[in-house]
């Protein structure tokens, strides 16, 4: 079989990765593959085509007739002449493209896009059917021993293929014009009539909220991958479909609705420093971080250039690479993408204009901007005056729209959605409360959103969900919201002064899922950046929980974030004392020696330095007992960041000084062979 399978999800629409059969392929193999390929195309007879119905049906019909021809040759065991093999090779290549085109025309979620690309699709059908006709021009039918009936059918198909009038269906053209008229109305700031929208969706058989949402997801994917010239049109279509989803569909069909961000696909929160997102080679923000055999992470393009230049060592450590495998660092990529989404940073490169929809500060087109303003007012109105079900749906719509991009967040905030969302936090309906807190989480990423939440007394409402939320998911989302609110210095004190905040976050670390624990840890980290909150965090019993996590968890990100919080708390004398009393140095040393995270190593060194500074000789003596610590500290001085290296040097100096003054000969001996190091 000479067919190569491509994943429908991975293949870009209108990209036809057809493979020409090699010249040495046997006629029998080529014929067998053509039969299977024709059967596959025939299977599209049962697929639904919202548009291009006639063209698709005719292509399937013609190839179905040719299948009879191929099977006739196979069953009779005929020997194919050389010109027939040449014809069949061309047909094989063309049939692959037809199959891809039919797959695109019936692709779920792509109905609107196929409609609006009708001219391109018709051109593809016309070109491919003409190619079939051309291939039969060199087929020596008369010299092939096939029955007259089959020969007549083949000749008829070839004749029809040459003369076929392949045009846009008049109904498709009418639907396309209606969509364009709606976009024109949006651009002029005029709301379209409900019946016009409904007619378009009915024509495309988009019958439910989830059907509409699939169209939106597909358009978002196309938006990210498209050429720059396509962006305004795609943005307009996205605005059209989002507006339809909000205005046309009154109910959410949750059994089919995509809720990928609902079940612990929670916000990816982290205590990482943005400097950790830069490639050590290019010093630019990493777009596609990959890890090499030494455990170091680089941007794929940078390390590939390094390897292509003939280098066989790790650029950062100088160690020899045991292999050239580049392992995608998906966790770091998620963190980078979220950091960019939250800060309006673009990862676009001039050589590859890839866009991320979550980082759009400005709308992609005037039509998209006006559509978003209209639907923001609709959901705001439903939040206040709607039924319970309409309020729940409005909250969920905001949750999705605010996630999509920064411009959407600003429109929703300006429409006044935050105060009614805060009211919904006290709902006794589980779904409503979850959607309301998730919507507020997305809006709190915007500077104005944070301000309005606080000005409307939202802090206590969010803490109430954190403490007494109906579901664990609502509590976890409330913790994530607190993290974003704590990014404003002045709000850290206000949040920490609410008596229930810190104990509730500690409870979440105790009882939550790994995702919930992470949100709790990171939220506490954000609050602990205000010195006045640190003692509250320590008094709530946080340190034993964090030490348990780093000793027992297998979640690397959770461990690194726990270390970050421990490093912050260790700066307080009581925090350092609690860490010392827990006899936790061996666990921290183990992580220092084993983790591949530069941030994790720096946090370990910070904990040791703060404990030794606040705990005096007693703490230094405990650390000095482990002779393996020194080699790890030297490694950080050479491989770590400038800040980590500075801390490691200070700690090394402290350990040397302790042994110089120590009366223990054993202690001195442990370090007599270590080279001295300059401490800043």
Classify 63 in phi/psi space as left (phi over 0), alpha (psi -120 to 50) or beta. Answer: alpha
- For 181, the token pair is 């008229």
Q: Would you state the structure tokens that stand for residue 245, as one six-digit string?
A: 């989803």
426: closest CA among 468, 363, 380?
Answer: 468
- Radius of gyration over alpha carbons of the chain, in Å? 32
In whole angstroms, what is the distance from residue 400 CA to residue 423 CA?
19
Condensed to tens digits (0 to 9), the pLDDT of residues 610-654 reads 999 998 888 888 888 888 888 889 988 888 878 888 999 999 999
Tokens of 63: 């190839």
Strands 297-299 and 289-291: antiparallel
Residue with tokens 């680089």: 298
Please report the pLDDT score of residue 306 as a whole number.
Answer: 85
Q: What's residue 440's pLDDT?
A: 97
Q: Nearest-CA neighbor of 390 among 250, 259, 256?
A: 250
CATH number of the structural domain 278-359:
3.30.40.10
Tell me how crowded residue 517 is: count the other CB atoms within 10 A of its CB: 24
**pLDDT on residue 347:** 52
Tell me, rounded to whole angstroms, the distance of Cα 258 from its chain centroid: 14
pLDDT given for residue 146 in this prediction: 81
> What CA–CA distance (Å, rounded) separates 54 from 59?
9
- What's the rounded Cα separation, in Å, for the pair 392 and 386? 9
How would you write 114-159 as a 3-class SS string? Answer: HHHCHHHHHHHHHHHHHHHHHHHCCCCHHHCCCCHHHHHHHHHHHH
- CATH code of the domain made up of 550-660: 1.25.10.10
Angle of CA points 335, 341, 347, to nearest 5°:
80
Q: What residues contact 185, with CB distance under 8 A and at least 6 apart?
A: 191, 192
- Give the 3-state secondary structure percentages of the chain, helix then strand then coil, rounded to 5: 70, 0, 30
Residue-wise pLDDT tens digits, 583-598 = 999 999 999 998 888 8
Cα dist. 287→25, 247, 308, 362 in Å?
A: 42, 37, 19, 22
Phi, psi for 189 (deg, rounded to 5): 80, 25
- CA 213/CA 257 separation, integer angstroms: 8
For residue 142, count CB atoms less than 10 angstroms from its CB and return exposed for 0-12, middle for 13-18, buried for 19 or more: exposed
CA dist 215 and 218 (Å) reads 5
Do residues 116 and 10 make contact, with C-beta atoms less than 8 angstroms apart? no
Cα 517 from Cα 524, distance rounded (Å)? 11
Dist. CA 590–CA 78, nearest whole Å = 72
DSSP 327: E
Of all helices (H) and strands (E), which one includes residue 364?
A: none
Predicted confidence at residue 225, as pLDDT, reads: 77
- Residue 587: both structure tokens together: 């666990």
113 to 97, 218, 244, 504, 539: CA distances (angstroms)? 19, 9, 15, 47, 57
**Separation of alpha carbons 607 and 615, rounded Å:** 11
CA 20/CA 91 separation, integer angstroms: 10
Residues with Cβ within 8 Å of residue 492, at least 6 apart in sequence: 486, 526, 527, 529, 530, 533
Domain boundaries, the chain: 27-168, 169-253+362-418, 278-359, 550-660
Coil/strand/helix, residue 355: coil
- Listed residue (115, 247, 252) closest to 194, CA to CA: 247
Give 328's DSSP letter: E
- Among 167, 51, 38, 29, smallest CA distance to 111 is for 51
Residue 52 and residue 169 in contact, taking contact as beta carbons nearer than 8 Å: yes
CB < 8 Å & 24+ apart, contacts of 131-135: 131/90, 131/94, 132/62, 132/91, 132/94, 132/157, 132/158, 132/161, 133/158, 133/161, 133/162, 134/90, 135/87, 135/90, 135/91, 135/94
Specify the 3-state DSSP secondary structure of 571: coil
Structure tokens at 154: 């083949």
Number of H helices, E strands in the chain: 32, 3
In DSSP terms, which residues pair with 327 in a beta bridge?
291
- In sign, the C-alpha dihedral spanning 450, 453, 456, 461 is negative
Tokens at 364, concatenated: 């992609």
603 and 560 Cβ atoms separated by less than 8 Å: yes
Contact by Cβ (8 Å): 155, 141: yes
Residues of the chain with pLDDT under 50: 1-7, 9, 255-265, 348-354, 666-680
**Alpha helix positions (H), 313-355:** 330-343
């Amino acid at each position: 079989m000479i067919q190569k399978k491509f994943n429908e999800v991975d293949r870009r629409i209108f990209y036809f990765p057809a493979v020409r059969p090699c010249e040495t392929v046997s006629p029998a193999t080529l014929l067998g593959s053509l039969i299977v390929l024709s059967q596959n195309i025939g299977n599209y007879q049962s697929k639904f085509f919202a548009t291009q119905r006639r063209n698709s049906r005719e292509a399937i019909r013609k190839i179905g007739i040719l299948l009879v021809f191929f099977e006739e040759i196979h069953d009779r065991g005929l020997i194919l002449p050389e010109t027939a093999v040449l014809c069949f090779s061309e047909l094989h290549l063309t049939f692959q493209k037809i199959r891809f085109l039919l797959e695109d025309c019936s692709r779920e979620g792509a109905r609107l896009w196929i409609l609006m690309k009708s001219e391109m699709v018709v051109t593809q059908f016309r070109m491919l059917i003409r190619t079939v006709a051309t291939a039969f021009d060199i087929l020596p039918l008369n010299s092939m021993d096939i029955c007259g009936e089959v020969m007549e059918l083949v000749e008829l198909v070839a004749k029809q293929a040459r003369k076929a009038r392949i045009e846009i269906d008049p109904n498709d053209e009418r639907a396309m014009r209606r969509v364009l008229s709606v976009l024109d109305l949006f651009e002029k700031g005029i709301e379209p009539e409900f019946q016009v929208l409904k007619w378009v969706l009915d024509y495309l058989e988009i019958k439910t909220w989830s059907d509409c949402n699939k169209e939106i997801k597909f358009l978002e994917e196309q938006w990210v991958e498209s050429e720059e010239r396509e962006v305004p049109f795609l943005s307009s279509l996205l605005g059209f479909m989002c507006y339809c989803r909000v205005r046309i569909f009154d109910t959410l069909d949750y059994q089919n609705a995509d809720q990928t961000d609902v079940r612990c696909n929670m916000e990816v929160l982290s205590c990482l420093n943005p400097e950790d997102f830069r490639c050590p080679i290019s010093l630019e923000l990493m777009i596609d971080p990959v890890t090499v055999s030494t455990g170091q992470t680089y941007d794929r393009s940078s390390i590939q250039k390094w390897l292509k230049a003939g280098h066989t060592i790790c650029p950062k450590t100088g160690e020899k690479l045991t292999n050239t495998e580049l392992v995608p660092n998906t966790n770091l990529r998620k963190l980078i993408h979220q950091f960019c989404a939250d800060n309006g940073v673009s990862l676009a490169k001039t050589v590859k204009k890839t866009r991320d929809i979550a980082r759009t500060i400005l709308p992609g087109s005037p039509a998209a901007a006006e559509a978003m303003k209209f639907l923001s007012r609709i959901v705001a109105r439903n939040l206040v005056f709607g039924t319970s079900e309409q309020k729940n749906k409005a909250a969920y719509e905001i949750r999705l729209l605010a996630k999509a991009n920064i411009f959407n967040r600003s429109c929703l905030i300006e429409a006044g959605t935050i105060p009614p969302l805060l009211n919904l936090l006290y709902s006794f309906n589980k779904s409503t409360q979850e959607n309301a807190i998730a919507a507020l989480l997305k809006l709190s990423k915007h500077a104005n959103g944070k301000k309005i939440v606080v000005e409307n007394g939202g802090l206590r409402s969010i803490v109430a969900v954190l403490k007494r939320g109906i579901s664990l998911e609502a509590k976890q989302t409330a913790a994530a919201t607190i993290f974003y609110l704590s990014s404003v210095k002045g709000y850290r004190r206000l949040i920490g002064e609410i008596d229930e905040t810190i104990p509730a976050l500690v409870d979440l670390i105790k009882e939550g899922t790994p995702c919930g624990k992470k949100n709790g840890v990171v939220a506490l980290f954000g609050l602990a950046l205000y010195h006045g909150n640190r003692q509250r965090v320590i008094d709530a019993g946080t340190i034993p929980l964090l030490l348990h996590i780093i000793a027992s968890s297998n979640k690397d990100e959770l461990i690194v974030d726990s270390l970050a919080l421990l490093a912050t708390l260790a700066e307080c004398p009581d925090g350092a004392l609690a860490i010392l009393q827990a006899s936790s140095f061996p666990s921290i040393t183990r992580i220092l020696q084993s983790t591949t995270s530069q941030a994790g190593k720096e946090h370990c060194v910070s904990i040791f330095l703060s404990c030794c500074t606040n705990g005096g000789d007693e703490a230094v003596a405990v650390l000095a007992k482990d002779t393996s610590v020194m080699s790890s500290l030297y490694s950080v001085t050479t491989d770590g960041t400038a800040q980590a290296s500075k801390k490691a040097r200070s700690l090394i100096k402290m350990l040397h000084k302790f042994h110089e003054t120590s009366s223990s000969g054993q202690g001195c001996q442990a370090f007599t062979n270590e080279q001295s190091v300059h401490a800043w």
